Structure 1
Amino acid sequence: MVQKDLSALATGRVQSLFQSDIKSRYDEIARALTNSRVLVVGGAGSIGSSTVNEILPFKPVALHVVDQNENELAELVRSLRSAELPMEVGDFRTLPLDYGSPAFRAFVRNEGPYDFVLNFAAIKHVRSEKDGYSTLQMFDTNILKQAGLIDVLRGIGFSGRYFSVSTDKAANPTSLMGASKRVMEHVMFDAGLVDGLDCTITSARFANVAFSNGSLLQSFEHRLKKDQPVAAPTDTKRYFVSLKESGQLCLLAATTAPHRHIVVPDLDPKTALVEMQDVAESVLKANGYEPKHYTNEAQACAAVSTDKAIGQWPLLLTPLSTSGEKPYEEFISDGETSVDLGYEALLGVQYLPLEDTGIMSRFLTDMRRLFERAETEAVSKKELKALIALAEPAFLDSHNETGSNLDQRV
């Protein structure tokens, strides 16, 4: 598959970064998952489905996968059923459910109990904070529904392990997307909000997943197939993991990480942060083309056929000037410290509680009121930014609203 072949161009690795940790923790993971009951929310996406693939060899007795995207659910089933090794799960089900819906709540209450609940449901692209309405949906998915899921688990007496994936953009967030995932971390770890939920709660922040659905790298392949220019931002560095690595990292965090810890890759920024322009050029060369640089979108779009005829391909280079974007990513926020959890390629970040112990309850109350008001009058991104600042005051200064968004570019 093209995605597997090209992942090394972004990660710089042929072997998985986390293979040694999977090997050393294999018995622990097996004891946890074998004959267990597992619920995976948002499990049809790239990271969720990769994690499902990592779970299957440990033979859980039940594996239920929930996702709103019924097309991707169908593809997940076809992929699993077509694999070389048989799927040895007695109760395997996929359901096209919104995890904030009454149908989902009914399913969890009637089909449990579960030993593991893994949540991958998210609006995860900075592109999606283009306006107040899209940002409201992001907050609903990433924050309110997370709080609702915790309420459901509390109501059924869940006592297993709960994992919800975060993002590197939650560390010192500059985008509303990253800030929403940072607040999501507060929702799942805050002592006041999880009071009465007697379970182990963990998360993970990690790099961009190379060639995952909707990613910029995946768009390179789509643009080549459609005879369109490839585009990449200049002076922009990102960490990358492969699809398999994303599943392995989530498997480790969900089954072996200690309570109230966020697992992050132990990557050296001097060697692992990769220029997006370099990755784009490498992908073009791997497909047999020499990149030809453009800074004008119209010129790049018009040049595909003539450049292609001489073995070149237009690479549109754009400045990093859209709202919320930052030139490099990081895994640990200011004020947080990493801890050694005994992994070879992973570190832990112990959750740092908010000083105001009641702020998250007030935050959720204010957010629900804002959603009620939004049904009769428009809510601005400025108001949503101010709401985020209740939990993350530094976001008022770190977020830069430029008036430009990624839908205005190739």
Structure 2
Amino acid sequence: MLAPFRISLRTLLRAGNLMAFSDTFSDGDLSYVATHRRSSLFTADIERSADLLSDRLSEKRILITGGAGSIGASTLRELLKFRPRAVHVVDIGENPLAELTRDLRSQADVPLPPDLRFLPIDFGGPAMQRHLKDEPAYDQILHFAAHKHVRSEKDVPSLLQMLDTNALKLDRFLRWLPLYGHEGAEIFAVSTDKAANPSSFMGASKRLMEHVLFASGAQGAPRRSTRFANVAFSNGSLPQAFLFRLARRQPLAAPEGSRRFFVSLRESGEICLLAACAVPAGHIVFPNLDPATNLRPMLEIAEGVLAHHGLKPAYYEDETAAIRAVESELANGRYPLIVTPLDTGGEKPYEEFVGAGESATGVGLEEMSGIPYEAFPADLPAAIEALAALRDDISRDVTKTDVQQQLLRVVAGFRHADSDRSLDQRA
């Protein structure tokens, strides 16, 4: 009789992104499978920047939007170490927000500020406007709310929602700040590596977000951003999906020829903390990861996850055959791994942080560099207005080409990798 395959509680917790946050990476830490690092890349930069971080955060009032996601929650945990006076966490996701609340209030070693609030509201909706009206001025605003999946451009309604969340709502939110006394707040927003030479609407929407962010600071208010690598085993990530597939006895699937940069969850919080508080204003910063050594094939990550659980890959191309083979492969210490072609819309085979026409410079940190933001496009206000009209006029037939034409006004180098296949058609 086949012995039941068991997956550990630790792995299930990681799959649900409820992992513990420690100062060291154990040998069993799954993040090593993706990053090949046993300790944080940014420890020295955090230590050297401690006084500056304390000056920017200690006894300050901080607003975090989209703060219950993987990166936002990790950043929250890092900044709490510097003892701010007030932290208000906004996220439309009730369940992750509730779990974040329980988790923080259950940890003895996390210093909590006197005014710590978790608000289940939309950062771009009327409730947010009311909140800004009622609150004293914030010192720091950290923005994480986003649609981050390339698969979200699969159809026009999903694409318009992605543009609304990633750029149009942010434009509205930033316009509210001076109306209600928050014009002096330093603002940081997370971008993505896909904003460099974008091949997807998602990447183009985040490049548009960068323009919106820095245009709002044209009068001198500090603005900063970071282009991110993939966060290993974070919510919605493919490595996390590997854990879910194992837990549910379903085949793993990974694209052949796709290489990605990875940082750990802890590193993601450290990157954001440094980018928000320890670099010159007006920069988009990114981690100094070497493409030759740090770009990891996704297929290798899947193989590493299987090895971590004592399994060898059994490669398949046919999804149905792989689904049917789970139990028989497990009987021999193997697990089905579907190898898929990289042929879905918007996908790039590799990642990059610096786009065409941009140049990187030092920002005073050992493990991070920055791109000085130049002037925002003259057509930005008109493009924002036109995209909002596409979103709002439901009597009009809107195509992806209509959206692309508006994005091309302000996103130089946008070349959409079109395909009739979507990630939603894959396991």
TM-score, scaled to structure 2: 0.92
The answer to whether residue 411 in structure 2 is matched with residue 392 in structure 1 is yes
Once the two structures are TM-superposed, the CA of residue 194 in structure 1 deviates from its matched residue by 4.0
Residue pair 1:150, 1:194 contacting (<8 A) in 2 also: no
- CA distance in 1 between counterparts of 2:71 and 2:243 reads 19
Residue pair 2:81, 2:110 contacting (<8 A) in 1 also: no
Once the two structures are TM-superposed, the CA of residue 195 in structure 1 deviates from its matched residue by 4.5
Once the two structures are TM-superposed, the CA of residue 86 in structure 1 deviates from its matched residue by 4.5
Alignment equivalent of 1:334, drawn from 349, 356, 365:
356
- Partner secondary structure for residue 30 of structure 2: helix
**Equivalent residue runs for 1:309-328 within 5 Å:** 309-328=331-350
Runs of 4+ in 1 over 6 A off after TM superposition: none
Deviations 1:59-115 (A, max 9, x none): 111000000001000010111011131433000000000011111111012113100
Once the two structures are TM-superposed, the CA of residue 364 in structure 1 deviates from its matched residue by 1.0
Once the two structures are TM-superposed, the CA of residue 385 in structure 1 deviates from its matched residue by 1.4
Alignment equivalent of 1:84, drawn from 91, 108, 115:
108
Opposite residue 369 of structure 1, the aligned amino acid is A
Opposite residue 79 of structure 1, the aligned amino acid is D
Alignment equivalent of 1:170, drawn from 195, 199, 213:
195
Residue in 1 aligned with 2:328?
A: 306
**Equivalent residue runs for 1:28-177 within 5 Å:** 28-157=52-181, 158-177=183-202
- Partner secondary structure for residue 233 of structure 2: coil
Change (3 A) 1:195 1:28: closer
- CA distance in 1 between counterparts of 2:157 and 2:249 reads 33
Residue pair 1:300, 1:316 contacting (<8 A) in 2 also: yes
Alignment equivalent of 1:360, drawn from 372, 380, 405:
380
Once the two structures are TM-superposed, the CA of residue 247 in structure 1 deviates from its matched residue by 0.3
- CA distance in 2 between counterparts of 1:381 and 1:69 reads 28
Residue in 1 aligned with 2:419?
A: 402
- CA distance in 1 between counterparts of 2:129 and 2:255 reads 42
Please say which of residues 345-354 and 218-227 is displaced more in the overlay.
345-354
Please say which of residues 3-12 and 115-124 is displaced more in the overlay.
3-12
Residue pair 1:61, 1:91 contacting (<8 A) in 2 also: yes
The answer to whether residue 402 in structure 2 is matched with residue 378 in structure 1 is no
Once the two structures are TM-superposed, the CA of residue 377 in structure 1 deviates from its matched residue by 3.2
Aligned-residue RMSD, C-alpha: 1.2
Residue pair 2:343, 2:421 contacting (<8 A) in 1 also: yes
Residue pair 1:183, 1:391 contacting (<8 A) in 2 also: yes
- CA distance in 2 between counterparts of 1:284 and 1:231 reads 12
Residue in 1 aligned with 2:370?
A: 348
Once the two structures are TM-superposed, the CA of residue 18 in structure 1 deviates from its matched residue by 0.7
- CA distance in 2 between counterparts of 1:18 and 1:175 reads 30
Once the two structures are TM-superposed, the CA of residue 403 in structure 1 deviates from its matched residue by 1.1
Instruction: State, as a whole percentage, how many aligned pairs show the same letter.
Output: 47
- Partner secondary structure for residue 391 of structure 1: coil
Unaligned runs of 5+ in 1: none
Residue pair 2:75, 2:272 contacting (<8 A) in 1 also: yes
Unaligned runs of 5+ in 2: 1-9, 20-28
- CA distance in 2 between counterparts of 1:256 and 1:153 reads 23
- CA distance in 1 between counterparts of 2:413 and 2:193 reads 17
- Partner secondary structure for residue 314 of structure 1: strand
Deviations 1:295-342 (A, max 9, x none): 111111111011011110000000000000010000110111110111
Residue pair 2:279, 2:364 contacting (<8 A) in 1 also: no
- CA distance in 1 between counterparts of 2:76 and 2:208 reads 26
Alignment equivalent of 2:289, drawn from 267, 270, 294:
267
- CA distance in 1 between counterparts of 2:218 and 2:43 reads 36
Deviations 1:147-184 (A, max 9, x none): 01110112234213100100011111101001100010
Residue pair 2:187, 2:224 contacting (<8 A) in 1 also: yes
- CA distance in 2 between counterparts of 1:145 and 1:56 reads 27
Count of aligned residue pairs for this structure pair: 402
